[in-house]
């Protein structure tokens, strides 16, 4: 079958970009992905994959000579709390990600008929609205006066503004999502850039009954976690809407990090204790405020945290060579028989 719509996925070798490539290829888009690296765990579904450095403006100018109906800008120098909150990577994070975003906008500023998606982050929200674990305020309009807790968040906020400025001055067609902790299989789970769900799954999968697993901070800090399939659903809704305001795409099922760990321990069936140790924690509380997305797109995620954690835990356990493949087979059998 002919692919009549063309999409470009920048950062297509990364976690979200790889899943997005799969999803859009299945929907019969022609997918061209660009990244420094190919996806780590399974082959790309993109029809064309370019290995390249998006900090290089020449590469972007070349890419913009072709027509794309949609450009998804997911490339960023990023990682979990251990990477973005240590302070050691701030210069690279700001420099590399800002350069990519500036190059994308400059290259595509005269492309007509191209809708551009920018992946911003919940890290843009001010620290002073996230000091209470039980009542963080991450409503989109509360982003100013700006006070993000990391330079990663400052870069995202700066880039949001650059996208909006290009939309105003060059009539560009822009959509901006603020992702809140997206998780799922094929997410990096070791090496220092992993995020809480994958890191905890790894620790639990490697532990033996009776062991303790270490959790950073007192574990009472709160977050919410959105499963990758729901994230892609939200992105598609946004891309097919006329909504041009930055909008949260995240779960509003807030949970403490210790409770997240308890859920993962339960899934493993092991008898493990939690040991809270000093470590980078970030803000005290964070949760997606989904009022705007419901109002603008008539959509919000169903918050399937338990389902997503089961998939993630067993996928990581399998990667670590423990005996989880049976679970995955059973799960796909039961999904097949229930027609999902």
Instruction: State the residues that interact with ligand NAD by CB under 6 A.
Output: 11, 13-17, 35-37, 53-55, 74-78, 96, 100, 119, 121, 179, 181-182
Closest CB to ligand NAD among 292 and 331?
A: 292
The CB-of-210 to ligand NAD minimum distance in angstroms stands at: 32
Burial, 200: exposed, middle or buried (Cβ in 10 Å; 0-12, 13-18, 19+)?
buried
Give the Cα separation of 292 and 248 in Å (integer): 8
Cis peptide before 145 (omega within 30 of 0): yes
Handedness of CA 60, 63, 69, 73 (dihedral sign): negative
Closest CB to ligand NAD among 178 and 272?
A: 178
- CB of 268 closer than 8 Å to CB of 208: no
The CB-of-320 to ligand NAD minimum distance in angstroms stands at: 19
Give the Cα separation of 234 and 299 in Å (integer): 8
Give the Cα separation of 101 and 123 in Å (integer): 17
Closest CB to ligand NAD among 217 and 250?
A: 250
The CB-of-52 to ligand NAD minimum distance in angstroms stands at: 6
CB hemisphere CA count around 125 (13 angstroms)? 27
Give the Cα separation of 307 and 164 in Å (integer): 36
Closest CB to ligand NAD among 14 and 217?
A: 14
Active-site option among 152, 163, 227, 313: 152
Reply yes or no on whether 144 is catalytic: no
Closest CB to ligand NAD among 97 and 268?
A: 97
Of residues 285, 302, 23, 316, the one with CA closest to residue 133: 285
Helix and strand element counts for the chain (H, E): 11, 13
The CB-of-247 to ligand NAD minimum distance in angstroms stands at: 13
Burial, 296: exposed, middle or buried (Cβ in 10 Å; 0-12, 13-18, 19+)?
middle
Give the Cα separation of 184 and 309 in Å (integer): 8
The CB-of-79 to ligand NAD minimum distance in angstroms stands at: 7
Report which residue's Cβ sits closest to ligand NAD: 14
Closest CB to ligand NAD among 96 and 310?
A: 96
List the catalytic residues: 152
């Amino acid at each position: 079958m002919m692919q009549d719509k063309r999409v470009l996925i920048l950062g297509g070798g990364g976690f979200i970009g790889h899943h997005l490539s799969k999803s859009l290829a299945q929907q019969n888009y022609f997918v061209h992905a660009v990244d420094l690296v190919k996806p780590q765990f399974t082959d790309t579904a993109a029809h064309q994959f370019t290995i390249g450095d998006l900090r290089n403006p020449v590469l972007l100018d070349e890419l913009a000579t072709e027509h794309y109906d949609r450009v998804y800008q997911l490339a960023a120098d990023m990682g979990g709390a251990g990477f973005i909150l240590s302070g050691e990577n701030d210069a690279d994070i700001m420099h590399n990600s800002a350069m990519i975003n500036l190059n994308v906008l400059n290259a595509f500023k005269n492309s007509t008929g191209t809708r551009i998606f920018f992946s911003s982050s919940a890290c843009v929200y001010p620290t002073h609205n996230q000091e209470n674990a039980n009542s963080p305020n991450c409503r989109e309009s509360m982003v100013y006066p700006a006070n993000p807790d990391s330079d990663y968040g400052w870069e995202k906020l700066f880039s949001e503004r650059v996208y909006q400025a290009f939309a105003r001055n060059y009539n560009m067609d822009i959509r901006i999502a603020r992702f809140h902790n997206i998780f799922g299989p094929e997410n990096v789970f070791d090496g220092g850039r992993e995020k809480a769900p994958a890191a905890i799954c790894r620790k639990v999968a490697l532990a033996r009954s009776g062991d303790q697993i270490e959790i950073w901070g007192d574990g009472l800090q709160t977050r919410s976690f959105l499963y990758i399939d729901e994230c892609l659903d939200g992105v598609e809704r946004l891309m097919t809407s006329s909504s041009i305001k930055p909008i949260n795409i995240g779960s509003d099922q807030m949970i403490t990090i210790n409770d997240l760990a308890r859920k993962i321990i339960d899934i493993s069936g092991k008898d493990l204790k939690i040991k809270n140790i000093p470590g980078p924690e970030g803000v005290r509380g964070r949760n997606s405020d989904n009022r705007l997305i419901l109002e603008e797109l008539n959509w919000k995620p169903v918050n399937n945290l338990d389902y997503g954690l089961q998939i993630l835990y067993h996928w990581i356990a399998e990667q670590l060579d423990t005996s989880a493949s049976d679970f995955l087979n059973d799960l796909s059998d039961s999904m097949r028989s229930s027609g999902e």
